[in-house]
Amino acid sequence: MNAAHTEARSLSRTWMQRLPASLRLAAAFALITAVILLPAGHWRVYAAIAGALVVIAAAARVSMLSVLKRLALLEPIIIGVAALSLLGPAGLRGFLSILAKSSLCLFVMILLSTTTRFTEILRVLRAIHTPWLLLTTLTLMYRYIFVLAEEGHRMRRARLSRTFNRGRWRTWKNLGTVIAQLFVRSSERAERIYAAMCARGWK
């Protein structure tokens, strides 16, 4: 994952992007709530919602392949938790219902995240008066996630090319050092950012 990739994913401008982000967020939330509140075993309703979502995805020019890839990535967690409901009184029917409903919700979230930039969500959060400290933390975090992830990869590569690892414990120790160094660099970067923010009139 890198910045260019996620931004490019959200760049195609369709009718979906022209809707205000707040509307998209509210619609996603409403749809997810509705799906959760559906009783178990209404297979036709689930199928209808899935069909509608596929149509929406196609209309918004979201590639189904990427949606399916991300679904497959998160599906094991859902199956794992849902498996516990196999033991309950609801049995197989409950398990399949939970599986279907959860996957539908995930589909909605994937659609939302592929058509909405995080900066748009930040704007919505600002409009609904999210406390400034949380908003600043989120904004700065999103700005530097990719920078730090990249830096972490670089440091790890440098470490791999210089040290010859024998055994799992050495690997753990090395990775621990890399993460520690990543924090040291993050806090140094925070100092520089603070100076830059002050220089631009941030009080």
The residue from 191, 199, 200, 201 that contacts other proteins (CB under 8 A) is 191
Q: Find the shortest distance in angstroms from Cβ 200 to other proteins.
A: 12
Q: How far, rounded to the nearest angstrom, does the alpha carbon of residue 55 sit from its chain's CA centroid?
A: 22
Residues 32-91 that bind other proteins (CB under 8 A): 32-33, 35-37, 70, 74, 77-78, 81-82, 84-85, 87-89
Question: HSE on the CB side for 37, CA within 13 Å?
Answer: 6
Residues 8-27 that bind other proteins (CB under 8 A): none
CB atoms within 10 A of CB 60: 16
**Can you tell me which residue has the tokens 């590569």?**
157
- DSSP label at 84? G
With a CB cutoff of 8 Å and minimum separation 6, the contacts of 64 are 54, 57, 58
Q: Find the shortest distance in angstroms from Cβ 15 to other proteins.
A: 21
Q: Find the shortest distance in angstroms from Cβ 178 to other proteins.
A: 7
x/- mask, other proteins, residues 144-183, rule CB under 8 A, reads xx-xxx-xx---x-----------x--xxx-xxxxxxxxx
In this chain, which stretch among 11-19, 44-52, 53-61, 186-194 interacts with other proteins, using CB under 8 A? 186-194
CB 107 within 8 A of CB 67: yes
- DSSP label at 53? H
x/- mask, other proteins, residues 105-124, rule CB under 8 A, reads xx--xx-xx----x--x---
Residue 127 is encoded by which pair of tokens?
A: 């409009």
Q: Find the shortest distance in angstroms from Cβ 79 to other proteins.
A: 10
Residue 20 is encoded by which pair of tokens?
A: 């205000």
30 binds other proteins (CB under 8 A): no
